[in-house]
A and B are shown apart, each in its own frame.
Chain A
Amino acid sequence: MSSAVKSDTPAGAPRTSAAATAACNPDSDESLLVAVGNHQDRAAFNLLFTRFSNRIYAMGMKLTRNEQLSHDLVQEAMLTVWQKAPLYDLDRGTAQSWIFTLTRNRCFDILRKMKRQPATVSADDIWPQEGDGDSQLVHEEEGTMEVEVSKIESFYGGLPAAQRAVIEQIYIHDRTHEEAAAVLDIPLGTLKSRLRLGVGKLRQMVGTE
């Protein structure tokens, strides 16, 4: 579908900030979405737009049976893709799934507005958002134990490797979120959610928060 752009760098090659756009694999929707999220890559967004706009329009026709609403849905869904791309998280699934959930949510809101139904709830209240599960975890266990700093290191070993890698980049190597995402070659959104999860678990284990 998209032979127009070819990548010189093999997929999965180490990515630095400068070379990030060049390393983007145009055949992978996930890779394009990460380029849009981490570097506001317009060429990558153009490709995603070309791939998804007609499919979103078709989904709109299935759900609304209305051409104007389906047209509005393409605009609103792709705008949300652009705006929320920095929050895209590999842990939440494929680019197609992620774009679907954004489109479903915009469609819900567009239909309610059109039918003049009460604005009591919006789609974002109904479908769990990125990060919700994490804050839940942190809320659940609240303790008043004394914190022993030496304990943190032993707890740290008990974290899942992916979360440990992120915490190491930020707290031990003192990198910025953007630098750490580039070093680990993951989307910024993924880095931030892993960091939040990992720190949340550490706090839970030492009984602060």
Chain B
Amino acid sequence: MTSEAKFHPTAEQLGGFARGTLTAGMDVVISAHVELCADCRSRIGSLEAEAAAEMLQAVPETRPVNKDFSSMIDSIVNHAQTQADEQTSDPVTEIHMLEHSVRLPKVLAKVASEGLVWKKLAGGINQASVTLDDQTQCEFLYMKPGSQVPVHKHQGSEVTLVLDGSFSDESGHYKQSDFVVRTANDMHQPASEEGCLCFAVLDSPLTFTKGLARLLNPLIRYRFRRATAAASH
């Protein structure tokens, strides 16, 4: 399912991902992009090495931070070690949207595995919100073929990862694995000709989700199926 992305996380976002200093919502959407994007995957190793040098730098012996942790050692070495053979591959997970199914990156499969509740928004958009932390709003968005998101403005920044299909806005055309970043000043109107499944992370809610459109939304549940790894062999 690897494809060539044209739009990637910023250097700052990837660096924060490697250091572990972002919100869980942002970690999840970057992780999903990294699984789909060989370019970004190849950069993570050196970013982690940089982060390691920065975060695990030697502490001067004289600093008061030095503590005696030696009593921990005995309890640790009595634990059994993990053997490489014990690692099991994760189940392959698919999400079913109307007629077709989409294979999700592992971390999103995990996010979706507790079940998604889809709400119908205006303009042919379906939304399933998930809560990952207390600072971001995260959601799967499904745009039906021919749909258009009402014009909206962001209060904060928004990251959208394309999982299947494609969408366009004033600035470009986005396909599977593209990582689209919009900041507070951007006003845009995404539209999808062929239909599109995305995962979006907002650091504050879109204005239209608070408006009248929300009152019109009946709940829709889509089935979610988990295919086991065994089935693919």
Contact with A along B22-50 (1 / 0, CB 8 A): 00100110010011000001001100110
* Inter-chain contact B24/A112, CB cutoff 8 Å: yes
Footprint of A on B, CB under 8 Å? 1-2, 19-21, 24, 27-28, 31, 34-35, 41, 44-45, 48-49, 51-53, 55-59, 65-67, 69-70, 72-73, 76-77, 79-85, 87, 89, 92, 106-107, 110-111, 114, 130-134, 232-233
Given A55-B57, A82-B77, A82-B79, A75-B2 contact (CB < 8 Å): no
- A107 interface residue (CB < 8 Å to B): yes
> Cβ of B48 and Cβ of A85 under 8 Å apart?
no
Contact in complex: B49, A97 (CB < 8 Å):
yes
Pair B73/A96 contact, Cβ less than 8 Å: no
Cβ-based interface call for A173 (8 A): no
Give the number of residue pairs across the A-B interface with Cβ within 8 Å: 164
A135 at the A/B interface (Cβ < 8 Å)? yes
Question: Chain B nearest CB: distance from A207 CB in Å?
Answer: 14
A121 lies within 8 A of B111 (CB): yes
Q: Is the CB of A128 within 8 A of B73?
A: no
Q: Which residue of B lies closest to A89 (CB)?
A: B84
B41 contacts which chain A residues (CB < 8 A)? 128, 133
Of residues 161 through 196 on chain A, the ones whose CB sits less than 8 Å from some CB of chain B are: 188-189, 192-193
* A144 and B78 alpha carbons, distance in the complex (Å): 48
With an 8 Å Cβ cutoff, the count of chain A residues facing the other chain is: 67
- Residues of A in contact with B (beta carbons under 8 Å apart): 37, 40, 42, 45-46, 49-50, 52-59, 61-63, 71, 74-75, 78-79, 82-87, 92-94, 96-97, 99-101, 103-105, 107-108, 112, 115, 117-118, 120-121, 123, 125-133, 135-136, 139-140, 188-189, 192-193, 209
CB-defined contacts of A85 to chain B, threshold 8 Å: 81
Chain B residue contacts of A71, Cβ below 8 A: 67, 69
Does the CB pair B73–A46 fall under 8 Å? yes
A87-B82, A128-B34 in contact; A120/B21 too (CB < 8 A)? Answer: no
How far is B232's CA from A71's CA once the two chains are assembled, in angstroms?
A: 43
Q: How far is the CB of B61 from chain A (nearest CB, A)?
A: 9
Please tell me if the beta carbons of B76 and A125 are within 8 angstroms of each other in the complex: no
Of B27, B65, B87, which contacts A54 at CB under 8 A?
Answer: B65
Q: Are B45 and A94 in contact (CB under 8 A)?
A: no
* Docked complex Cα distance between A83 and B69 (Å): 18
Tell me which residues across on chain A come within 8 A of B80, comparing CB atoms: 83
Once the chains bind, are A57 and B69 in contact (CB under 8 Å)? yes
Contacts of A93 in B (CB 8 A): 45, 48-49
